[in-house]
Structures are given as C-alpha cells and as structure tokens.
Structure 1
Amino acid sequence: MKKYILFDNDGVLVHTEPLYFKANIITLKEHFNLSLEFDEYMKIMSEGTTVWQKAIDRGFLEKDIIYAREKRNEYYQEFLRSENILIHGVKDILKELSKNYKMGIVTTSRRVDFEIIHKNLGLVDFMDFVLCEEDYEFAKPHPQPYLKGLEILGANKNEAIVVEDSKRGLTSAYKAGIECVIVKNEFTITQDFSQATYFIDSLKELQAILN
C-alpha cells in the first residue's frame, strides 16, 4: 500500500518546460549563433547533460558560457513571471490527495526559479517538503534526489510512488527502486518510458492507480 507520493515539478505540476526550452534557444542564438533543435534538446534532457556542450565544443571560453547561462536564467524567469504556467485542476487534485498521503516535490529546478514558479499558486501548501537542485549532490537521472526524498519521509521504497513526465526523472526513480507513474506531457512524449510502471493522461487518474 502506498503512503507517500513524490512529485516532479516541471511538466507534472506546472507547465514550464517549453519556457525553459525557449530561453535556451534564444540564449544560444544570441551569444554563440548556435541553433538548438527539439530532438537535440530532448536528448540532452534525457541524459542529464548540458546545452552548453555545443558552445564548449566550438571553443567558446568558460567566462562566455557563464555569462550566457546567467542571461538564459534571466529570460526563463521573465517567462515564468509573464506566462500562465498552472496546469488546470492540479490544485484540487493535490488537495484531495493530501488527505490520505504525505507528499513532496523533488525537482531539478533551482530554488530561486522554484520560488518564482510557486509564489502565488498555493501548490506547495499540500507538500511535506520540497527538494531543489541545491539540496542534493547529484541531480536526476542519478537516484540520489528520490532516495533523499524517501529519507526525509522515513519511508521505504515500496511505500512510495513517483510521478514524473521525463526520461531523466523516470531513470532517477527506477534506479532508486521506486515505482514511477508517467503523466502525459506533449513536450516529452517522444522519450523512452519503458521503465515506467504506470502511464496516465493527467493527474486526475492518479487516485485510481493508488486505489
């Protein structure tokens, strides 16, 4: 019986992934005159590597990449503040789930971005904890983020379930030995989810799986 739910953030609770992709496209073009194709970006996200490798391979200096990364982050934050990122119905679903389960968010987002995203959404109110990029040494697809989530909850892997939308997050959960639900996301739909235990079209279907 499941007692704990560990949620990814981007693409599961909020619609932010296209905005991050757009920020990377703009920055690579402006600073290095490099393109970033969708399939290429999906591969980078799945493997947990970096969009800056293209600039590194072409001999750009570290200081230039550091500056570009800062500009990318600024663009992303501008988009987060101006775009509608809330996925319809998520707040009500979390409210109901919180009555029967302890829940946490395990994300690769930076804390500063996470706080911008959730400033006025009220989703964190239903969570027992949040883990961001700064809270662990190794990011997804390494299992450490979800293992740390289990540790915080005092849970064993069989008592928990992970909700993800990306191959990188699925790999992290799989390596941690935790069953994973993949929620459909048009942005990541082409990725390999063969290691997932369940597939759902929306979070509305999560309760049926848990039952």
Structure 2
Amino acid sequence: MKRYVLFDHDGVLVDTEFWYHKAGERALADVGFTLDLDQYVQDMNQGSGTWAQARAAGVDEQTISRQRGVRDAYYQEYLRTEAIEIEGVVDALEELSRHVRMAIVTTAKRRDFEVIHEARRIRQFMDFVLVREDYERAKPHPEPYLTGLKRFGATKGETLVVEDSARGLSSAVAAGIDCVVVHNDFTRTHDFSRATWRIETLSELTDIVLRSA
C-alpha cells in the first residue's frame, strides 16, 4: 500500500489555474497585448506560461518585469474574491488521512499560498507544504518531488503523486514516482499517457491507495 501522497496544489486542491491565466491576460492587456489561451496552455507545459508570447512578439523585458508585479496583484485580487473551491476535496482528504500521510508540493509562491489558505481546511491534513521558494528548480524538473520524498524520509515505491498538468506529471515521472492525474478542464488537452492512473475526482484516490498494496 502507498503510505505517502504528495499533492500538487493549483488545479488539484483549489481551482486557481484559470484565475492565474486571467491575471496574466489582464496584465498584458494593460500594455496592449492579447494573450492567446491555447498557446498559453502549451507554454505552461514548458514552465514559461504568461510571458513567452509577449517576449516572442517583442515586448521588452522592462515592461514584462513591471507587468509581472501587476499580474501578481491581479491574481491576489482574484484569490480573495473568486470561488476557487473544488467540491469534495476536504472530504476526500479526510478519508485519505486515515490511510496515508500527505503533503503539498506546489509551484505557487508562498504569499499566494497563504492567501488561498487563510480560511480553508486543506492544510490541516498535510504534514508539510513545499512552495516555490523551497526548492531551486521548478517542475517539470524532478527536484520538487524529490525534495518532498526527502522531507518524508519515504521511498519512491511507497509514495504517490497527484497532479493535473503535463508539466507536473513530467516532474513526477522524472522523480520515479507513480502519478495519479485528476481531471481539470483547464489542462484537459495535455498529454497524460505516462500517468499511472487517471481519475475524475479525488474521491477515487482512497481505492487506488488501498489497491496498490
């Protein structure tokens, strides 16, 4: 049986990926640039996301640097005002907590993570949280999940990763850890052929944990 679960955060535990895109789209619109959603999703897989299209179109680095701060402010506005809960997450975590130890491994910045969890019940189920500032190389590099393994003192074979994006799946695969991909409309076009399991909701995770003995 799997004994440890490392969760991605955005798109898995909270529905934030759309709003992160929206914040970047709005920040670039402020300087007259239209962000293409399909290209953004492709760029996101490579770890670039918001700014790749702008750079390719000749937007200068000074402008990008300024608008990055604008994007971050818009994103925090959305985090405080929009509904980002995913139905059933807390119930699924409560059930899982009877069988495994859990942690979050996210590319979210600490300040955004703290805003998200000011009044939510998710963090109580986690042994620890690794945010972007806690490791050097982001997903799709394996370092984030290898850092999670080290914190737990766990082996790869007794650990499960839960992801919703191809970039996160690549990180888990590179780390040598079985990965469950949970459905997310925002990343539904990604290639998940290397996933060990595919699920629609986190409520399916307990069965996977118990069947992986």
TM class by smaller structure: over 0.9
TM-score (norm 1): 0.96
Residue 53 of structure 1 deviates from its aligned partner by 2.7
Distance 1:41 1:58, change over 3 A: closer
- Is the contact between residue 21 and residue 50 of structure 2 (CA under 8 Å) also seen in structure 1? no
1:43-82 maps to which residues of 2 (within 5 A)? 43-82=42-81
In 1, the alpha carbon distance for the partners of 2:35 and 2:87 equals: 29
- Structure 1: give runs of 5+ residues left out of the alignment: none
- Is the contact between residue 109 and residue 133 of structure 2 (CA under 8 Å) also seen in structure 1? yes
SS at match of 2:198: strand
Does residue 85 (structure 1) correspond to residue 84 (structure 2)? The answer is: yes
1:117 alignment partner in structure 2: 116
In 1, the alpha carbon distance for the partners of 2:94 and 2:206 equals: 12
Residue 2 of structure 1 deviates from its aligned partner by 0.6
1:16 alignment partner in structure 2: 16
SS at match of 2:104: strand
In 2, the alpha carbon distance for the partners of 1:60 and 1:110 equals: 24
SS at match of 1:128: strand
1:131 alignment partner in structure 2: 130
1:1-211 maps to which residues of 2 (within 5 A)? 1-31=1-31, 33-211=32-210
In 1, the alpha carbon distance for the partners of 2:189 and 2:178 equals: 21
In 1, the alpha carbon distance for the partners of 2:99 and 2:52 equals: 44
Residue 61 of structure 1 deviates from its aligned partner by 3.2
In 2, the alpha carbon distance for the partners of 1:51 and 1:14 equals: 20
- Is the contact between residue 141 and residue 170 of structure 1 (CA under 8 Å) also seen in structure 2? yes
What residue identity is the alignment partner of 1:21?
H
SS at match of 2:186: coil
Residue 62 of structure 1 deviates from its aligned partner by 2.4
Q: Which moved more, 1:125-134 or 1:60-69?
A: 60-69
- Structure 2: give runs of 5+ residues left out of the alignment: none
Residue 193 of structure 1 deviates from its aligned partner by 0.4
Residue 91 of structure 1 deviates from its aligned partner by 0.8
What is the percentage of aligned positions where both structures have the same residue?
A: 52
What residue identity is the alignment partner of 2:13?
L
- Is the contact between residue 109 and residue 133 of structure 1 (CA under 8 Å) also seen in structure 2? yes
In 2, the alpha carbon distance for the partners of 1:96 and 1:42 equals: 32
In 1, the alpha carbon distance for the partners of 2:203 and 2:59 equals: 46
Residue 34 of structure 1 deviates from its aligned partner by 1.6
In 1, the alpha carbon distance for the partners of 2:51 and 2:21 equals: 13
Residue 23 of structure 1 deviates from its aligned partner by 0.7
In 2, the alpha carbon distance for the partners of 1:168 and 1:38 equals: 17
Residue 45 of structure 1 deviates from its aligned partner by 1.0
Residue 104 of structure 1 deviates from its aligned partner by 0.3
Residue 63 of structure 1 deviates from its aligned partner by 2.3
Superposed CA RMSD: 1.1
